[in-house]
Structure 1
Amino acid sequence: MSISAFPVAGPERIDGGSSAAPDFVVVDVETACSRVSSICQIGIVGFRNGVEVFAYETLLDPCDEFFPFNTGIHGITCDHVAGQPTFAHIHAAVDAYLSGRITVAHSSFDKGALASACQTHDRTPIETTWLDSVRVAKRAWPDLPSHRLNVLSKYLGLRHKHHDALSDARAAGMVVVRAIDHTGIELAGWLELAKQRSSPSAPKAAPVGPLKGCRVAILGASRNGVLAHWLASAGARVVASVGTTTTMLVISDEQPFGRYFSASPAYRRAEELRRQGSTIEIVGEHELRSRIGLQIAS
C-alpha cells in the first residue's frame, strides 16, 4: 500500500494558488481505533463553482493504537504513520482550511472526530459551518436504496477509492456539486434546509403488537421514517439513542456504514452495555421483519 503525505499549505495559500476563495471545503478522516480522536489520515478538498480548487492530504500519527478492525477498513498501519505529524502539529493548517467556511462531511462522524481530536490534543475547536452530504443526497435522490458514499459514487459515475480520506473528501464534494446541478438548489439553499431540519418526532407505539414494551433505537434511519413507523406499528417505542433502558438496536438495511456498521457510536454503545450485563439485542432490519412476520403468521 502506498500512501503519500502532501505538504502542509500555509493559511495564505489554502486555495491552491487561486485568487478566489472556495465556496465550500470537504473533510474526511480515517481513524486508527474505536476512539474517534485517533485520526490517522485526513483529506481536505476545496470547491469553487463546482470545480476542485485545492486538495490537502496527510497521514497522521494518531498517538493511539491501531485496531485490526480499523486497519481492515482503510489499510493504514502503525508502520505507515511512523514519522508522520500528529494532529497537534497540523491543527493550525486544518483550522486555516476550515475555519469560517462551509465544511461538508459525509455524515457527522468527521465532525465528531475533529472535535474529539482537538480536545485530546489540547487545541482550540475549529469553528466552521457544517453541511452533511448524506442529508443532501437523501433530499436530492430520495429513491436510491442507500446513500453510502461508495453507492453514491457508483450511481453518479465518480472515480472513488472508498476509505481513502482524500478520495472520500473529493467524492463527498462532488455529491454536493451534483445535487446542486440536479435540484437547482444552490449551496445557500442547502444550508437553509439544514437549519430548518428539526429532530423528527418518533411515531406513537401501537397499543398491542409483538414488540410491545420494547424500547428500540435505530442505526442508519430516521426516527420518523418507514422503519420507525413499522416498528411503532408492532408496538415498539422508538427512542432517539442507545441508553441503559434501550432493549433493542435495529440496524437499518439502509444504514450508511455498509458492512462496517460495528464502528458506529450506536453499535459500540450497545456492545458496551452488553458487556456490562445489559440484555439489549442487536438485530438487522431484515432479520427482525422476518421474525415478526413469522410470529404474526403463527
Structure 2
Amino acid sequence: MPDFVVIDVETACARISSICQIGIVGFRDGVVAFEYETLVDPCDEFSAFNMRIHGISCDHVLGKPTFADIHAAVDGHLAGRITVAHSFFDKGALAAACRVHDRAAIDTTWLDSVRVARRAWPDLPSHRLNALSRFLGVRHKHHDALSDARAAGMVVVRAIDHTGIDLKGWLAPPPSRSGASPRPAAAGPLKGQRIAILGAPRHGELARFLADAGGRVVASVGTTTTMLVISNDQPFGRFVHASPAYRRAEALRREGMAIEIIAEDDLRARA
C-alpha cells in the first residue's frame, strides 16, 4: 500500500471533463512504488491552445480507451487513499469526467501540493511545478501527465524532509494567523526591532527566539522592517541573494531605509 498517490491529467479543450491523458504515481517511504499512465479518448474536440501545451492531438488518442473504460482502474488506485494533485484542477477534472461519463465519484482524500510548497518554501518566487522541479533538482517533462504526477509527489516528499511535517500534518489545517507570530517580550536586546525571517516559519523556533529577545516578527519585508534574518534552514543556498525577500531588503536599503540583513548564527551570537 502506498503512503499516497499522485494524479495529473491533461485535457483536450477548455472543458475540464475532456481528459486526454492520465498519470498516476504511488509513493511509499519517499520513493515511487508504482506508476500508471494512459492516453484517453476524451470524446470531445481538441483545441489548438491545449494541443500546443501538451502536444496531444486526436490522432494520438485514436483507438484509446475512454474515461468510462478506465474509471475502474483509476478508482482502484485512488479510492480510500490520500491523493495529491498540484492545484485542484485535476480534482475538478476528475469529478467532471465522472459526471459526463456517468460514473461514480471517486472517494479519496485530496492534498494540494501547491499549498504544501507555499508553506514549505514561502520565499520562492513561483510555486509552479516546473519552477519547483528546477529548484528541487527533480527531472521533469512539463505537461506530460506521468512526469507531472511524479514531480508533484517529489514536492511532497521533499517538503516532508525539509519541514519535518509528516503526511498527516500536511492534511491538517495550517497554523492560524493569530498564532503565526509569537508575542514579543517586554524587554530584550531586540526590543523595537521589526524582523522578517527568510527561510523559516513565523511560528517556529527561530521566531520564538527573536520574540523572546523582544523583537516583533513580521510577515514580510516592508518599509517598517528593521531587520531581515536569514535562517540557517533557508532553501536558496548560495543563491540566497536572489531570493525575493533579500532583494526587497536590498532595494529598500538603496532607498535609504535602515534595514539590517544578518545571518541567524550571527544574530544569535550577538543577542
The aligned residue for residue 103 of structure 2 is 123
In 2: Cα distance, 1:81 partner to 1:29 partner: 14
Does residue 99 (structure 1) correspond to residue 71 (structure 2)? The answer is no
1:174 partner letter: M
The aligned residue for residue 129 of structure 2 is 149
The aligned residue for residue 183 of structure 1 is 163
3-state SS of 1:40 partner: strand
1:10-25 → structure 2 map (5 Å cutoff): 21-25=1-5
In 2: Cα distance, 1:88 partner to 1:77 partner: 19
In 1: Cα distance, 2:32 partner to 2:5 partner: 9
Does residue 47 (structure 1) correspond to residue 27 (structure 2)? The answer is yes
1:82 partner letter: L
In 2: Cα distance, 1:98 partner to 1:53 partner: 14
In 2: Cα distance, 1:44 partner to 1:79 partner: 23
- Which consecutive residues of structure 1, in runs of 5 or more, have no partner in the other structure? 1-20, 199-224, 227-298
1:90 partner letter: I
Q: C-alpha displacement at 1:167, in angstroms?
A: 0.1
The aligned residue for residue 56 of structure 1 is 36
In 2: Cα distance, 1:32 partner to 1:95 partner: 21
TM-score when normalising by structure 1: 0.59
In 1: Cα distance, 2:120 partner to 2:35 partner: 25
Which of 134, 141, 158 aligns to 1:161? It is: 141
In 2: Cα distance, 1:124 partner to 1:115 partner: 9
In 2: Cα distance, 1:170 partner to 1:94 partner: 16
Could you list the per-position Cα deviations for residues 26-85 of structure 1 after superposition, in whole angstroms to 9, with x for gaps in the alignment? 000000000000000000000011010000000000000000000000000000000000
Residue 110 to residue 197, structure 1, CA distance change in 2 (3 Å): farther
Could you list the per-position Cα deviations for residues 177-226 of structure 1 after superposition, in whole angstroms to 9, with x for gaps in the alignment? 000000000000000136x789xxxxxxxxxxxxxxxxxxxxxxxxxx99
Does residue 36 (structure 1) correspond to residue 40 (structure 2)? The answer is no
2:13 partner letter: C
Residue 133 to residue 197, structure 1, CA distance change in 2 (3 Å): farther
In 2: Cα distance, 1:136 partner to 1:193 partner: 11
3-state SS of 2:23 partner: strand
The aligned residue for residue 93 of structure 2 is 113
In 2: Cα distance, 1:57 partner to 1:197 partner: 38
In 2: Cα distance, 1:79 partner to 1:102 partner: 34
Does residue 140 (structure 1) correspond to residue 110 (structure 2)? The answer is no
1:168 partner letter: D
3-state SS of 2:106 partner: coil
Does residue 71 (structure 1) correspond to residue 51 (structure 2)? The answer is yes
3-state SS of 1:52 partner: strand
1:162 partner letter: H
Which of 172, 179, 198 aligns to 2:152? It is: 172
1:104 partner letter: V
Q: How large is the Cα RMSD of the aligned pairs?
A: 1.7
- Which consecutive residues of structure 2, in runs of 5 or more, have no partner in the other structure? 178-218, 221-271
3-state SS of 1:46 partner: strand
3-state SS of 1:126 partner: coil
Aligned residues: 180
3-state SS of 1:146 partner: coil
1:56 partner letter: Y
TM-score when normalising by structure 2: 0.65
Which one has a bigger Cα radius of gyration? 2
3-state SS of 2:25 partner: strand
In 2: Cα distance, 1:153 partner to 1:162 partner: 9
In 2: Cα distance, 1:38 partner to 1:152 partner: 27
The aligned residue for residue 206 of structure 2 is none
2:6 partner letter: V
The aligned residue for residue 194 of structure 2 is none
